[in-house]
Structure 1
Amino acid sequence: MNTRQLLCALTVCSTLASTAALAGNAPLQQVQKKWAECQYSTPDGDEKEQCFQHAITRIGSYLDKEPGNPELTVWLAINKASLAGAQGGLGALSLAEEAKSLLEGVIETSPQTLDGSAYTSLGSLYYKVPGWPISFGDDDKAEEMLKKALEINPAGIDPNYFYGDFLAEEGRDKEAKVYLTRAMQASPRPDRPLADKGRKRDIEATLGKLK
């Protein structure tokens, strides 16, 4: 086999492997794509809420077929938390509580799932929801969770963004810039272009608020 034939063979093998991976993770990829569409391409208001509600229903149907799947469970939690954010107000806190419980379950059994995404998502909940006696918000726990996420995925766009955003909310602007810059420089995710584009807008917005 000459060099050209070898390269062609490797390309075919790589393509087949990618295709197999896509087929094996089809529900997960559909869920991730749907979330990005709801979060970044759907107008705020009833339409966005309905989008997340439909996504939650779809994930529930997937979990009926794969009970306990940690990846889908993380994304169920993310969608519930996102729906809570879209709804706003005290009425959304029950959704945040449900998301928290789901993420804690994943952390207990499969903490490395999706590069520690459960830690990232739980950390973001801890600093975004109100604290006691209204809800479970806790800045110390938020920082603990976000740091654990960074230990698992130090170069990821999401853990760096959320820790940077947390630091910005804490008034720790100098530290925030470090992590937000790392988030902006994170390697693109070829299978999640819309999510990357939207997240970079989030990063730019937070950077724009810093002194």
Structure 2
Amino acid sequence: MNKIKQLALTAALWGLSIAAQAADVSELQQLWAQIQYELPANQQSQAFSVLADQARQLTEANPDSAAAHIWQGIILSSWAGAEGGLGALGKVKEARAELEQALTLEPEALQGSAYTSLGALYYQVPGWPIGFGDDEKAAELLQKALTLNPDGIDSNYFWADYLINQKRYAEARTALLKAQAASPRPGRELADKGRQQEIRELLKTL
């Protein structure tokens, strides 16, 4: 059985019990990391589509869970990135709505991850008239994320990526080194390994 079929089967079996469980996003986190960092690029869009369905089921079963909305937003964003093109715009708009909902429910959930993910969308998505991209809004959101999680790997990584986008290279290097020194996250070993590789690649460009 190839990797994408294994992921789909795991997600499907997990989905059978979603309605009966609390909003535990750990399985979404693990499956996301496998798709993001282990699957070939040409298989990621299909795998993220399967995972997005499971995330939606979890959110529908737990509508008041900020964590569930955050992870639905992250998965939709990743799916959009894997798919690319104008067809991805609808997915990033859905992702924005999920992350905004998380902020209305619990802004501090998952150490401010909604701010981090939403800020990333605002600097990565094209601006008007194509999309809703806004560099000033991105900076505001990413700074809020850093206030909540000043030493986090993701909060510092995305702030650094934003700074590179703004050609503020010295500041970006400082943020990347801080991300590189972040403490390991229990249960997120694969995600941390993949993010550290991305950090090293960005440092090389500086």
Specify the alignment match of 1:72 in structure 2: 68
For the residues of structure 1 that align with 2:76 and 2:196, how far apart are their CA atoms?
22
For the residues of structure 2 that align with 1:25 and 1:177, how far apart are their CA atoms?
40
1:39 is aligned to 2:10: no
Find the partner of 1:178 among 153, 156, 174.
174
Change over 3 Å in CA distance of 1:180–1:142 after alignment to 2:
same
Q: How does 1:1-211 map to 2 (within 5 A)?
A: 27-45=24-42, 47-210=43-206
Q: CA RMSD in A?
A: 1.3
Three-state SS of the structure 2 residue aligned to 1:27 is coil
For the residues of structure 2 that align with 1:203 and 1:92, how far apart are their CA atoms?
25
Once the two structures are superposed, residues 27-82 of structure 1 have per-residue CA deviations (whole angstroms, 9 ceiling, x without a partner) of 3110100110110011112x211111111111122223222311011000000000
- Read off the aligned partner of 1:32 and give its amino acid letter: Q
1:174 Cα shift?
0.3
Three-state SS of the structure 1 residue aligned to 2:24 is helix
1:132 Cα shift?
0.8
Three-state SS of the structure 2 residue aligned to 1:140 is helix
Does the 8 A contact of 2:65 with 2:105 survive in 1?
Answer: no
* Overall identity of the aligned pairs, in %: 46
Where does structure 1 lack aligned partners over 5 or more consecutive residues? 1-23
1:126 Cα shift?
0.5
- Read off the aligned partner of 1:187 and give its amino acid letter: S
- Read off the aligned partner of 1:93 and give its amino acid letter: L
- Read off the aligned partner of 2:105 and give its amino acid letter: T
For the residues of structure 2 that align with 1:101 and 1:91, how far apart are their CA atoms?
17
1:166 Cα shift?
0.6
For the residues of structure 1 that align with 2:98 and 2:56, how far apart are their CA atoms?
13
1:25 Cα shift?
7.0
For the residues of structure 2 that align with 1:25 and 1:105, how far apart are their CA atoms?
18
Q: Find runs of 4+ consecutive structure 1 residues off by over 4 angstroms.
A: none
Q: TM-score, normalised by structure 1?
A: 0.85
Where does structure 2 lack aligned partners over 5 or more consecutive residues? 1-20
- Read off the aligned partner of 1:33 and give its amino acid letter: Q
1:160 Cα shift?
0.2
Instruction: Give the number of the structure whose alpha-carbon radius of gyration is greater.
Output: 1
